[in-house]
Every structure is written in structure tokens, then in C-alpha cells.
Chains A and B, each alone.
Chain A
Amino acid sequence: MPTTSQKPLELILARNLMSALSTPAFLVDEGGLLVFYNEAAGLLLGKPWEELGTVGAEEWGSLFGPFDESGEPIPYDELPLVVAVRDDRPAHANFEIRSIDGAHHRVEVSAFPIQTAHGSRGAIAVFWPAATNGAGS
């Protein structure tokens, strides 16, 4: 019997759904590793997923931030997606990200865990243009 790196069905279906959305959306696995973002997210970041591929926390931070209101990098562990996976709860934040071309975008981010009959499989985050510069939570 082959060993497999097959992704859980819930992540596969989440990716398929996200691929059809025009809302920037990100997907992490149960270990908190970013495993996909959609075309809309690629436009926001200035780099499509197919060109970036899986990146670690440090590289992600150096590429895109995110940054708080004073321009300080927000630790990877505090990102809503990471909180959703680690603490198994929804999380929301308002912060700034930097695209590949150096442009900054203020966004609101909501993340929620993907619960299954066998526990959490990962999390999804959606980004929205921020209406105000309010603090994250």
C-alpha cells in the first residue's frame, strides 16, 4: 500500500471552492503551513500561488509582512490563520500587507478552522479591503 501525501478531502474541497471565488482567500493545513491561495489573493500579493508555492513563516514575513499600524511586522504566530489552527477558534484582524511590487494594502482578515469528524484539518482566511484603520482583535 503506498504511503501518500494526499490532502484531506476537506482541504481539497476548500481549495476548489476558493479557486472559484473572487475574494482573496488563503488555506493552511493542520500544521499551520500555507498550502494554497487563490487568484484574487495572488493579485493582492502580486504573485500567483503557482509561482510562489509553499513558503515557511520567515519567508512569508519577509515577502509580505503583515504590519501593524506603526509599521512593525506582526509575528506569524499572531496571524488569524495561525490562531485559527492553533487555538481551534475563529480569529479576525486588521493589518497591512505588502505586495511584491512594494505597495501596501490595508485589509481585514477573518479566519476560521476547518472542523471535521476527525478534528481540525486546517483553516481558511478571507481578506477584505479595510474600511477603516481600526485596530485588529
Chain B
Amino acid sequence: MKVKLWGTRGSVPSPGPETIRYGGNTSCVGVTLSDGSLLALDAGTGIRNLGLALPDEPSRLHILLTHLHLDHIQGLVFFAPCFRPQTEIVIWGPASPEASLRDRIARYISAPLSPVEVRELPCDVSFRHTPETEWEIGPARIRAASVSHRGPTLGYRIDDGEDSLAYIPDHEPALGADLDSLEEEWISGFGLARDASLLIHDGQYADAEYPDHLGWGHSSLSHALSFARRTGAGRTVLFHHDPLHSDDQLDQLGAEARERWAAAGGDPKAIELAVEGAELEARALAPSATSAG
């Protein structure tokens, strides 16, 4: 599986000279499966550039939404394939007792927030609640599960042959829990991330910032490292950067993450911060080669 990070920022787009290296676009990850088909994980503003990079030809695309906070859907109405009649788009997302996925997304893609309505989109778009059980898209097996965040929120696991990707961009697994001592089955998101080749995980806050954001639905660096260590992910990318974090601050956070991972016995190359535009491989590795602890 090939992975490209089109948007790595959390909460709100944060363009500017201080964020130019890690990027200012909000959450979107493109995943190219072994048969060449494409999945988009979330539709933050990063999906705009993904859309511009796609050829203008008949295609079928799947967009897997973790949740409907604006930083994960804002790019939908700027996604060029939405305006191509020959494109079929399937949007997956969490169920809610309140309203259908389509109706909840239509609150954003409607007046006065949007110049177009869902029904006016030229593409053939459909909306599906993620099933409780694994399903297939092309050669990939997909699983979605609720994870600890504000409101109905999913994490995803994508298995394609031996390769696996876990995507949990908004996640506070340590809320009311001690990740270092809790049994695995009681850790939010554990089943999705266990032994994943590549884990893309929330790493929004430095440890010193977390106490002021307790319950906001995101992880501190310590929590992200503990989660990665407990799940045995082969390679971990810390994602959903705080919009207030400059490139220099993220450099420091990344250096601290690598030092702490190495101090715990892991390969420091197995921990990195997400960089907008980066292309990664989700390739199966021997977990013992990279995991800490």
C-alpha cells in the first residue's frame, strides 16, 4: 500500500510561513491499494490537492470519513471529482442515532455554508454507514471501529495482503485510563492498530499542553507513544498537528519522540511526524525490528 499525506493539520487550516514544512491543510490521506485503486481517508482541506492530482477520467472513489468535524470534511466541496459527472464517489462514515450520514454532511454542503447542495453535485455520490464487520474495497479488507473522541468517531484499519494501515487521527485513548497498565482489550482503538505495518495516529499535544486540553479528544506525545508501543505498530506517524505548532516546534516534538522511542528500545526511524506531501509505504515489517518496549 502506498500512502500520501495530503493534509496533516488538526482543527483548522493553518497556512503561513511558520507551517510551510509540515503543512497547513487539514486531515486527508490518500491510499493506493495493490490494484491501483484509491481510497481517501478523511476530507479535510488536503483533499483539494488530492483531487487536483487525479486525472479527469471515469473513476470510482471511496472516501472514508472518521467523523464529521469540519477539519475532516471541509475539503469535500473543493474536491474536483465531486464536479465530474463521470465520477462515482462512495462516502463512508459513522452512524449516528440523530440523522443519516448524508443528512449530517448536508448541513455543511448546503446554504448558507456552501454554494452548492449535495443534490447538485454532478458526480454520482452515495453515503454509507460503516458496517460493524469487516468489508472489502478492491483487494483491501476494511474495518472501522469507534474510538475515543468527541462525538461519533471512527478509526480505520486497511489490510491489503500482508500490509496494513491503521488510521486513527483523532483519538484520546488515555482519557480516564492508564495506557501503560490497562489490559489491551480495554484500550480504545487497540484492535485496529495491533501490529499494523503503519499507524497514523493523533499526536496533537506536547505533554505540557495536554492538561489544559483534557477531554478535547486528542493525544499527548506520551499517550501516542504509549499507544504505539502497546499496539506493536511497525512504524508510527504522528498526525493532526495542533494549528498553533510551528515547524520549529514540530521539529522539537519529533526529536523528543525519536529520543524517547529509542530510549524505550525502539528504532527511532520508526517514529516520525506527518509532513504534508510525504509519501510512505505501509509495508509489513518484523515488529521486533521497530517496536519499543
Residues of chain A having any CB pair with chain B under 8 Å: 1-2, 4-10, 12-13, 15-17, 19-20, 117-118
Contacts and interface: CB of A to CB of B under 8 A. Distances in A.
Contacts, number: 53
A2 B191 contact: yes
Contacts of B176: 13, 16-17, 19-20
Contact of A7 (B143, B185, B194): B185
Interface stretch (B3-11, B38-46, B146-154, B272-280): B146-154
Interface of B: 94-97, 132, 134, 141, 143, 145-148, 152, 157, 159, 164, 175-177, 185-188, 190-192, 194-195
A53 B69 CA distance: 38
A117 to B, nearest CB: 4
B194 A13 contact: no
Contacts of B192: 6
Given A1-B143, A9-B146, A16 B185 contact: no
A117 B164 CA distance: 27
Q: Which 4 A-B pairs have the closest CB atoms?
A: A6-B191, A16-B176, A4-B191, A9-B146
Nearest to A8: B146
Contacts of B175: 13, 16
Nearest to B97: A117
B185 A1 contact: no
Given A6-B185, A6-B190, A12-B188, 8 more contacts: A1-B143, A4-B185, A7-B186, A12-B186, A16-B177, A17-B176, A20-B176, A117-B94
Given A1-B157, A16-B176, A9 B148 contact: yes
Contact of B195 (A2, A13, A17, A19): A2
Contacts of A4: 185, 190-191, 194
A6 B155 CA distance: 13
Given A16-B177, A17-B176, A117-B96, A10 B191 contact: no
B201 to A, nearest CB: 16
B290 to A, nearest CB: 18
Contact of A1 (B152, B159, B188): B159
A128 to B, nearest CB: 22
A12 B147 CA distance: 9
Contacts of B157: 1
Nearest to A118: B132
A12 B175 CA distance: 10
B31 to A, nearest CB: 15
A12 to B, nearest CB: 5
15 contacts: A1-B141, A1-B143, A2-B191, A2-B194, A5-B185, A5-B191, A6-B185, A6-B191, A12-B148, A12-B177, A12-B187, A13-B175, A19-B176, A20-B176, A117-B94
